[in-house]
Amino acid sequence: MNRRKFLKNALTLAALTPVAKVSTALAASENSTQASSASVTQKKPRPTAFIYGATMMHLSDLEVQDKVMRCLKTVENNLFHPGTNLIYDYLTSWDSARKFDHLPTPVEISRCLPNPCSWRSGQEDSVINGGVALDMYIHSGNGDMARKIYQGLMACGTVSGIPGFVARSISPRDGKSFYPESSRDQYTHYVYALWHYFHSDLSSKEEKSEIVKLLTDVADFCEKHVTKENNWTLPRADGNPHRSSVCRMWESQAHEIARLPMFYAAAWSVSGNDRYLKCFNRYAYEAAERSMNLYSKSYRSFALMQMTLSCRLIHDLAPDAALKQKYAQVMDLIDEYLNFNLLRAGTNCNTADFSAMMPNWRTIKRAEVITDCGYTLPERPEALQLAFQTIRDCTESIIAALLMPTPRVTLLRRRIFRAVLKTLTPEKHCTFAPLFFPAAWYLAKHRNVKL
């Protein structure tokens, strides 16, 4: 079955068939002798918001705006650290004096505990969070917060002393300790947000000059290190060999392949240096073709959102009309895949426990092992994982839909956004995920789309 037919059949079944009928049909196909209407009617399914639209009807536009602002205030109060201007991943206590007790000490960071990528440590994704936040503050016109977040991102891009290396985060304990292994995901949000801030009315002349240096440093770093001899991989800050694949910039998967030409395009855009345009042309055409090779499966929402960021930046900057069209076609394909995540969020928001708490990673007895590198991750509690992923499935998919050249927010997608938002009490949620609700909301306002 070809990819588009697979997507059409799967989404039609999920979106158009009531839950009870889906369950009955699946049971009948697996064991028709045991399926009975009585067994279905005995257990009343919970009506999901994306089918019945009830949750959307219970939130007025003012209530949506109020809940979105509560999400923003909660993240700013709980997870933004004024000492580093970074947004950390989660808190482990509602006591403001102890909420960051779990963050690694400089000694733990020097020993790469719990792992060299800082996964599940609480300072894993500050650059991703900051990139999303900077885009949001640009759209909202909040210059004071935009400048603070920009300063945090700039610190992550310079703290190592290695031009072009972007640290995932910086320890608030000493203002300088960081983990040695970054990722293309961090770089993607870093590059897009700095490029966006450069072209906004909020950045100063001095900041624009700094951004030229920051983005050309990234491009130079890529040109030097992303080679066949280095397995197309950005190096660790400590010089030790990579074991994970998260910094591989070429010969990578379809949703990752456009990141490298994106970095060169951004550097060319802010500097005007045609050397970066030549680097861009070296990869952009092949990346467009290979981006169409998404597997017939559900992708994580963050992967599709980051893929959209890279494709949209290239689409806007490509000097060749044919290349623009190719990236527009890639985004058409991404848009189809977003429905998997949105439908999953619409279903899971009815059972997710958004008040689930993350324990201090040092106390967690179970770990996940990443097979390609052997790194161990403290296991996130199952209830928190469901809640965290439900918010991200919804919001990152909506942001990706809004980033398309023509925004793709349908009635169904709006209903899911409101359904998940209604079930969330942001003041009781411990992770950064609610940040993505105001990010989507302000982007929608910027693009004149109702959420």
Give me the pLDDT at residue 2, please.
54
| 438 burial via Cβ count (<10 Å: 0-12, 13-18, 19+) | buried
Give me the pLDDT at residue 378, please.
95
Tokens describing residue 160? 């190592």
Compute how many other C-beta atoms are within 10 angstroms of the C-beta atom of residue 159: 20
Give me the pLDDT at residue 31, please.
37
- The values of phi and psi at residue 378, to 5°, are -55, 130
| Contact residues for 286 (Cβ-Cβ < 8 A; gap 6+) | none
Give me the pLDDT at residue 49, please.
41
Pick the CATH number of 46-446 from 1.20.120, 1.10.1060, 1.50.10, 1.10.8: 1.50.10
292 half-sphere exposure, CB direction, 13 A CA radius: 14
| Contact residues for 141 (Cβ-Cβ < 8 A; gap 6+) | 202
pTM over 0.85: yes
Give me the pLDDT at residue 1, please.
52
Give me the pLDDT at residue 372, please.
86
Domain locations in the chain?
1-45, 46-446
Give me the pLDDT at residue 371, please.
87
Candidates 120, 121, 197, 119; CA nearest to 157 is 197
Question: What does each of the 451 residues of the chain score in pLDDT, given as a tens digit?
Answer: 555 554 554 444 444 333 333 333 333 333 333 333 333 333 444 444 444 344 445 789 999 999 999 999 999 999 999 999 999 999 999 999 999 999 999 999 999 999 999 999 999 999 999 999 999 999 999 999 999 999 999 999 999 999 999 999 999 999 999 999 999 999 999 999 999 999 999 999 999 999 999 999 999 999 999 999 999 999 999 999 888 999 999 999 999 999 999 999 999 999 999 999 999 999 999 999 999 999 999 999 999 999 999 999 999 999 999 999 999 999 999 999 999 999 999 999 999 999 999 999 999 999 999 988 999 999 999 999 999 999 999 999 999 999 999 999 999 999 999 999 999 999 999 999 999 999 999 999 999 999 9
Give me the pLDDT at residue 374, please.
92
Give me the pLDDT at residue 312, please.
98
